[in-house]
Each structure stands twice: as structure tokens, then as C-alpha cells.
Amino acid sequence: MGLNHTDILRAKDEAYMQRQIIQAHGQSVYTLVTKLISCKEDAEEVYQDVFIKAFGNINSFDKSKASLRTWLCRIAYNESINYLKRKNLPLMYVDDSEMSLDSIVDEMAVFSMSQQDEQTIKMIEQALQQLPNEEQALITMFYFDDMSIKEIAYVTGSQPSTIGSRLYRIRQKLYHIIKHIQE
């Protein structure tokens, strides 16, 4: 049975829509996947799986619950976590610390506002690389992708208060890593 003119047009429209979605949101999805999965080849495979799953379930997208980007990031997060579980790779979480948020912000401001901005950026990048993948993903979503705590909670399937606490602990951890790098 061959395709009629309407089927061909519908297929072209769908392909166009998919290209537009990938062009608009592909980088956010790829960044999130690579923060969770460090092996480039594996990350690319999961990235492709994300869009296959998304396009196969596009009718379940509910714009009243999340933006398209946030919905895609949720799929990317879940696909990445499932991949790590299948490969028996552990997810790491941070321990609590006694450091206050105000002192972290003050310390970060001292060295980030100095004349050594380039060194500071390198130091922060080095510190971020020392975080577990899942923590890097949370930092990326919050600071680089400008996602709200509520959006990150949706992506990760967590409560907003949990995400807020985890971001606080990750900032504490980054503070200690940076202090160690400075020594």
C-alpha cells in the first residue's frame, strides 16, 4: 500500500517539526546528558534515545505542566539515569556540611571579583569537573540553563525543597573544592 499525497505532506510536516525541536532544544538536552554520562559515545546514544522517545510520545506532552524544553530535559534526565542504572554505575550524593550560604557567597565574591577573572573561571571549571555527574547536571540546569528550582524538580521527579537543599549542599561542596584548589 503506497502513501497518498496527504500522508506525504504529513510526514514532511512531522520531519520539519522534529528538526525544529532538535534545533531549538537539542543543545540543552545534550548538555544535560553529557553532565550525567561522561563517555561521549554513550552520551550520544542516550541523546538519540531521548528524541526517539520524545517524538514517539509527543502526544503526551502537556504544556500546562512544563515547557517543551523542560519536558525534553525530564526525558533526558530519566533516560540518562536509567542508562547509568543499566550499566551499574553509581549515582553519588553529597554529605551535609556546616558551612553557611552567606559565607560561601562572600568567599566566592572575594575571588570572583578580583583582577584574576580568567584564573577564577578556570578554577570554577576545575571544581565543577570534580563533582559527580548528577551534581554537575543540577548546577548546569540551574546556573547555565536558567531553569527554576520548580523546573528542575519536574525534570528530576523530585520535590522543589529537595532540589533547593541539594543545590545548597552542592554549593557548599564547590566552596570546599575551590578552597582546596586555592591552597
pTM (global) more than 0.95? no
- Is residue 95 in a domain? no
- Is residue 94 in a domain? no
Do 81 and 15 belong to one domain?
yes
pLDDT above 80 (res 93): no
CATH number of the domain bearing residue 17: 1.10.1740.10
Domain range for residue 117? 101-182
- Is residue 60 in a domain? yes
- Is residue 52 in a domain? yes
Instruction: Read off the pLDDT of each residue in 55-64 and give the average, rounded to a whole number.
Output: 89
Instruction: Read off the pLDDT of each residue in 128-135 and give the average, rounded to a whole number.
Output: 88
Do 116 and 73 belong to one domain?
no
Do 11 and 76 belong to one domain?
yes
Instruction: Read off the pLDDT of each residue in 51-74 and give the average, rounded to a whole number.
Output: 90
Q: Are 135 and 36 in contact (CB under 8 A)?
A: no
pLDDT level of residue 68 (50, 70, 90 thresholds) = very high
Do 140 and 70 belong to one domain?
no
Do 23 and 73 belong to one domain?
yes
Last residue of a domain, one of 27, 59, 86: 86
pLDDT above 90 (res 75): yes
Rounded CA-CA distance 64/62 in Å is 5
**Structural domain count, the chain:** 2
Do 79 and 10 belong to one domain?
yes
